[in-house]
Structure 1
Amino acid sequence: MRGSAFTNLEPRMTGLRRGGPRRFPAPEDGPVWYSALLTSIPGRTPATPHLQPVPAPARTPEKPPSRHPSTAENDRGIPVHSDTLIAAPIDHKITIPEGEGLKAWESWLDTCIKFEASDLIVKAGQSPRLRVRGSLKGMQIEPCTVDLLFRVAKDVLDPNQFEYFRQRGSIDFAYDFDERRRFRVNMFMARGKPAVAARLITSDIMKFEDLYLPEILGDVSMSAQGLILFSGVTGSGKSTSIASMLQYVNERKRVHIVTIEDPIEYIFNDDKATINQREIGIDCLNFNDALRALVRENPDVVLVGEMRDYETFEAAIRAAETGHLVFGTIHASSAWQTFGRIYDLFPENEREQLRKLLAYNLRAIIYQKLLPTLHKNIGRIPALEILLNTPAVQKYILEAREGELLQIINQSHDEGMVDFTTSLVRLVEEEYIHQDVALGATPKPEELKMRLKGIS
């Protein structure tokens, strides 16, 4: 049975239609901040679930999600066929009535929005959890059952999506909560039981100053051609920063911008630019098909999302070489270490040519990490490392001296570059973050301690 917190909640199903976008009225209450422990949400009858701090789960290395195969598709554009299937299709007899899963799902998302959480994580056997300012908080409701989570999947997904999930054990999709907010959702099986991870995405595209990003990124955004990479771990705000840069271009240049996303996160409205956003599984089968079609779409600026394999990065660097401005993200632990991550995507016999392409076409690498602040009105703030492709940087890349690029960054602050340690020092000195937070974020704590003491 579902937890008592869902009893008598009205099913917010206005405008619901299976197999299409779902849009819902905005919550009647504005978001509220929590202090040490959240105990209630004002204005909600019955009370929305309370939250409790929970221990952070042990993190394991992420596996890149598999791509949708480029074969036959269903009416939603999601392929359902035989390769990459799980060992046995999911087969569970759902006993909870239809519609109850949607009611629970909407309640969880509503709570996520009210507490200004960035993420919702749900698994069988425990209460749903929210990530608020980087920390997990548990809702004080009864643990979710396997049956409830299967009912959620059945109610939220259309029949073809549910079949895809049943055959493969995982599906990515975007869920429109209302006109301003959507969720990027991964529904997956774990130890034979369903689980969900959802990230809140708002339609509000923030400006550089709202995100505490330096003005130099505006100059980088206005480049006529080249490759701009954001690196960092999942949840470090890379997509948000890129959206801000694309909006900066949108407000200033008459260009054609094409984005390839899985799923679309921020919705852009044309200003000076013309923008076309393509979603994998709906507008195109997969990244490779979308990238091959780019040339025929005549873009000036391209967003290719996460570069996790050879094909995507090769297509991106070739697009940059042929005169396009290309934005992308990659997982790496610093700006200068991003090169090693890129080279690992390519066979050894192609790396020398790749090095030349990067030397002449790279515009910037921005490493970003979000840190909790000392201010209640600022949730998290980015610590940055910025590498710009100056003649000195280009020379080091061509000479295969990428490991020495941190020295160039340290010597080029006047040109807009910044190393991660300097970024942390500034955030501490300007009282945005606590010194302990900075020390926990840096790979060089002793160097940071000396810098904070004024010893360089």
Structure 2
Amino acid sequence: MPGQTSVKTTAAQQAAAASTPTALPTSVKIETLLEECIRRNASDLHIQVGLPPILRIDGALTPIPNTPVLNSDAVDKLIFSTLDSMQREVLSKDKEFDYSFSFGEIARFRVNAFNEKGNLAAAFRLIPTKMPTIEELGMPQVISSFADYPRGLVLVTGPTGSGKSTTLAAIINKINIEKAMHILTIEDPIEFTHKSKRSLVAQREVHYDTFSFSRALKSALREDPDVVLLGEMRDLETISSAITIAETGHLVFATLHTNSAAQSIDRMIDVFPAEQQPQIRSQLAGILMAVCSQRLIPAIGGGRVVAAEIMIANSAVRSIIREGKTHQLDTTIQTGANEGMQTMDRTLAKLVQQGTVTYDDARDYAVDMREFERLVKGI
């Protein structure tokens, strides 16, 4: 899950070398491996030819003990047991496929099956069935206010495995419990499943319920939503549609693979042709409500904790976006603490001071090393 994590490659190599290069026994099935993933509180399970099954635990890759090296036949059987016939066709045609796999009532997994060196491989990401609350995630209280915005665009950003989907699930869950809204999610694949509570929730999965993000977004306004969750803004078409939906009075939540508010805004604007960018800046300045850019940091005693940069779109932020001066956003975030804003470095320093993470781990994620060290020392 993490952006920067330790990797016990040596352990994996040693386990592979010590194992007999035969397929897993037929008595060992994918269910056994997924149960082990859940039991050991791993974030991911990796299946690949030439290695034993490997778990990612607290950011580190660790082979499952007493499991042999997988050959191609074993890998094929393990992966195919999680696919239906249509999914197998898509994987065969596209050479890679994202999907979700429900493991009874215990858990769900987001899976990416792909080809490497002519063989199948897969990464299984564990998605808890229990819907987290914002408080349980250890997020700042200002994140709760995102659920109260009447309209606009809210971005949750970060590298792959930084907990973006979990944060968004907690926000959507809060709206679902507290407000009578129509919530529409468009995801690839669906990760957390939301049962309608006070709100009406409709979840659409790309490949199953719609052909693409862009097609689902085009029809979204005809489905009478109040809130739209877009799993990922991938290109000009999806970004443009998200802006349009937010401009027409809806609340839109979306993710980007970016590391800061400034980078997120630049990414959205830069996908458009140069002649359109002034107009997009103006539109974005009008609709953007907040950006949460987060990372997962190894915690003392095990597990990981969220560290986040939070920007709230006040009048100063809107002016900066409109004028194309995103390099000034960091300063605005630094001075906006009374409005709930916080820099990544301030968040990391606070976690160190609280004894939640080590200085060395926090330093690995610092944006401005001198500022981080100053904040840790309380200067």
The answer as to 2:73 corresponding to 1:118 is: no
Offset at residue 163 of structure 1 (A) = 2.3
The answer as to 2:147 corresponding to 1:147 is: no
The answer as to 2:347 corresponding to 1:423 is: yes
Q: Classify 1:367/1:108 alpha carbon distance in 2 versus 1 (closer, same or farther; 3 Å).
A: same
Which residue number in structure 2 is paired with residue 341 of structure 1? 267
Offset at residue 283 of structure 1 (A) = 1.2
Which residue number in structure 2 is paired with residue 54 of structure 1? 9
Whether the aligned pair in 2 keeps the contact of 1:56 and 1:135 (CA below 8 Å) is no
Whether the aligned pair in 1 keeps the contact of 2:96 and 2:114 (CA below 8 Å) is yes
Which residue number in structure 2 is paired with residue 137 of structure 1? 62
Q: Classify 1:56/1:446 alpha carbon distance in 2 versus 1 (closer, same or farther; 3 Å).
A: farther
Partner amino acid, structure 2, of 1:137: T
The answer as to 2:90 corresponding to 1:164 is: yes
Secondary structure of 2:92's counterpart equals helix
Per-residue CA deviation, residues 96-151 of structure 1 (Å, 9 max, x unaligned), is 89x949x5211211111111000111110011111111111112311110111122
Which residue number in structure 1 is paired with residue 144 of structure 2? 218
Whether the aligned pair in 2 keeps the contact of 1:230 and 1:328 (CA below 8 Å) is yes
Rounded Cα–Cα distance in structure 1 between residues aligned with 2:82 and 2:329 = 48
Rounded Cα–Cα distance in structure 2 between residues aligned with 1:418 and 1:255 = 30
The answer as to 2:298 corresponding to 1:353 is: no
Whether the aligned pair in 2 keeps the contact of 1:257 and 1:274 (CA below 8 Å) is yes
Identity %: 37
Supply the RMSD in Å over aligned alpha carbons.
2.0
Which residue number in structure 2 is paired with residue 267 of structure 1? 193
Say which of 347, 361, 370 aligns to 1:437.
361
Which residue number in structure 2 is paired with residue 109 of structure 1? 34
Whether the aligned pair in 2 keeps the contact of 1:370 and 1:380 (CA below 8 Å) is yes
Rounded Cα–Cα distance in structure 1 between residues aligned with 2:299 and 2:155 = 25
The answer as to 2:131 corresponding to 1:205 is: yes
5+ residue gaps, structure 2: 1-6, 13-21
Offset at residue 218 of structure 1 (A) = 1.4
Rounded Cα–Cα distance in structure 2 between residues aligned with 1:393 and 1:205 = 32
Rounded Cα–Cα distance in structure 2 between residues aligned with 1:151 and 1:244 = 35
Offset at residue 56 of structure 1 (A) = 9.6
The answer as to 2:151 corresponding to 1:236 is: no
Secondary structure of 1:210's counterpart equals coil
Offset at residue 53 of structure 1 (A) = 4.3
Secondary structure of 1:323's counterpart equals coil
Number of residue pairs the alignment of both structures matches: 363
Rounded Cα–Cα distance in structure 1 between residues aligned with 2:348 and 2:82 = 42
Rounded Cα–Cα distance in structure 2 between residues aligned with 1:307 and 1:427 = 30
Offset at residue 382 of structure 1 (A) = 0.7
Partner amino acid, structure 1, of 2:68: E
Determine which structure has the larger helix proportion and give its number.
Answer: 2
Structure number with greater Rg is 1
Q: Classify 1:175/1:449 alpha carbon distance in 2 versus 1 (closer, same or farther; 3 Å).
A: same
Secondary structure of 1:211's counterpart equals coil
Offset at residue 371 of structure 1 (A) = 0.5
Per-residue CA deviation, residues 304-354 of structure 1 (Å, 9 max, x unaligned), is 111111111111110000000000000112122211221222221211111
Say which of 360, 363, 367 aligns to 2:293.
367
Alignment of 1:285-364 (within 5 A): 285-364=211-290
Q: Classify 1:451/1:156 alpha carbon distance in 2 versus 1 (closer, same or farther; 3 Å).
A: closer
Secondary structure of 2:136's counterpart equals helix
